Amino acid sequence: MTAMTDIASGAAQATLDAFLDAALDLAAERGWLSLTAGEVTARSGAAASVLGGFGPFRPRLLARLIERIDAGMRDGLDDDARDPALPVRDRLFEALMARLDVLSARRDGMLAVLRGVPLDPPSALAALPLLGRSMARTLEAVGESPLPPCGPLKVKGLSLVWLATLRAWLSDDSPDMAVTMKALDSALARAEEAANSFLPGARRRPAADSAEA
């Protein structure tokens, strides 16, 4: 029974991936705003119902694309990114770079998505909670809690880091993403400085660590 369930789940995921890949191809060709369910279905051979949910087509498509990026990020992390002995900043750097690797695998399509979503009110409105959920998953992937009392502040701070990094990635055509990596490192440094100022106990932690050593 488990084997049959796994086969069915794998087939459903393959169908969804085919739909998402076709959507990214069409977005790269024509832009995000021109995407329609009918065209993506015709290109992929899969019905738009594979997206699940209700409501306008492009916001539902965006949600599934972001979920796939989240999953790719988790799959791309090594053990170091989950090691609580390493600084949070280093672990987050690895996690966000893993997200960028997923984006870069379909760069042309993702560029079209990122440039088109702000111009599409339903998608832009949906993107706000999707961003927060995605950053919460990123925190969880590196062993940090997104839950209160401090978690929501971490989610907001990481969202700002990610948006700043995406702005650099949009114009970074270097093969090693050097410009993007520099922007990410700088954004994380600013976030770390802010956390040291505002999160309870953040300033005291280094002294406590030294005392234990």
Give the CATH number, domain containing residue 160. 1.10.357
Domain limits at 159?
A: 58-212
The answer to whether residue 135 sits within a structural domain is yes
The answer to whether residue 196 sits within a structural domain is yes
Say what the pTM is: 0.88
The answer to whether residue 102 sits within a structural domain is yes
**Amino acid identity, position 148:** P
Q: Long-range contacts of range 86-95, CB-CB < 8 Å, 24 or more positions apart?
A: 88/142, 88/144, 88/192, 89/188, 89/189, 89/192, 91/142, 91/143, 91/144, 92/138, 92/139, 92/142, 92/144, 92/158, 92/161, 92/188, 93/184, 93/185, 93/188, 94/142, 95/138, 95/141, 95/142
The answer to whether residue 131 sits within a structural domain is yes
The answer to whether residue 29 sits within a structural domain is no
* 95-119 per-position pLDDT tens digit: 999 999 999 999 999 999 999 999 9
The answer to whether residue 51 sits within a structural domain is no
The DSSP secondary-structure symbol of 171 reads H
* 126-180 per-position pLDDT tens digit: 999 999 999 999 999 999 999 999 999 999 999 999 999 999 999 998 889 999 9
The answer to whether residue 19 sits within a structural domain is no
CA 13 to chain centre: 18
The answer to whether residue 140 sits within a structural domain is yes
Number of domains the chain contains: 1
